[in-house]
Amino acid sequence: MANTTLADDLVGRTLGIQEIPVVDLGPLLDGSDPRAVARELGRAASTVGFVYVRNHGVPAELRAAMMAEAERFFAQPLEAKNRIHIRHSSVHRGYFPLFEENTDPELTADLKEGLDLGRDLGPDAPEVVQGLPLHGPNQWPDELPGFRQTAEAYFAAMRGLAENLMRGLALALDLEPSFFADKIDRPCASLRLLHYPPQEGHVEARTIGCGAHTDYGCLTILAQDSNGGLQVRTAGGEWIAALPIPDTFVINFGDQMARWTNGRFQATPHRVINTSGRERYSMPFFFDPNWDALIEALPGTVAPGEAPRFPPVLAGPYLQSRFDDTFAYRKPEAGKG
């Protein structure tokens, strides 16, 4: 953190391993003891809302290849990246520059650029024929041979991991392992590639890599490089630094999972501050339910005689409303002047 000082409210204590646990997914994936893994996932989801997972089944070579493609994409001139600016997409796919997305818009400006990719759907896909928002084709960087093939392979691997995690979470909630299957078979899933420039000098809360927020959907599977920067807020309001652990993903749970579980699983606020002195890259995979999935308190999550903590919402419209709140290009005034 050379040549960098943080305002007092940005300092994050280095975590102890008991604060964000590390869970071995092997017994869930191979079927040897899925309920033991489910208990660990459920405990993490209900206490801190974050968990590291290892033995997750995603090849290290594929993850490294995707990270290399992310670095290659962001190394392009701004003009090249802007050719696939997200404003050119009707389904929220493409590149966004620094300060385009602000996850805590009342307090911070996000010092990051990104590329959003989703399920790449052609004109004959049922969701496209229906005209569902956020469903359609990706914008691909044609100047980078091999980028699309790597991204599609990585997306498929992450989708498979997410589906396995949802089986584990169903078990953690004392539901059938297939409970979520018909609610996530056409998911609003997206792979986001992110680049955070280093911050030097005195850093105040107004401009950081990513402002404090909770994620919007079911779960997020994060691959991060070795530079750190992710901070997680504990239930007591303290910020802890979630340092990278080799060969793991960081999982956190979003607003819709909190709503589905009536608050049993936590959507925990987190933020990013890149004080490493180096470029930081990360790749969150957001796994959100089908557009028309009804998000309401699941069986067994509401005590007798009590009302659910959250009103029901449809997954897709809720997700769209959060994008409207945080992306500058989606503001009504963006097309004026």
Has residue 261 got a pLDDT over 70?
yes
CA 187 → CA 7, 153, 163, 282, 310, distances in Å? 39, 17, 10, 22, 22
Q: Using CA atoms, how far apart are residues 177 and 198, in angstroms rounded to an integer?
A: 43
Asked if 173 and 94 touch (Cβ cutoff 8 Å), the reply is no
Query: How many residues in total does the chain contain?
Result: 337
Question: What local confidence, expressed as pLDDT, does residue 281 receive?
Answer: 98
CA 153 → CA 29, 65, 157, distances in Å? 19, 10, 6
Whole-structure pTM value:
0.92
The predicted-structure confidence for 165-223, as pLDDT tens digits, reads as follows: 999 999 999 999 999 999 999 999 999 999 999 887 666 667 788 988 999 999 999 99
Topology given in CATH for the domain delimited by 4-335: Jelly Rolls (2.60.120)
The predicted-structure confidence for 72-116, as pLDDT tens digits, reads as follows: 999 999 999 999 999 999 999 999 999 898 888 777 788 999 999
Taking the domains of the chain in order of start, what are their residue ranges? 4-335
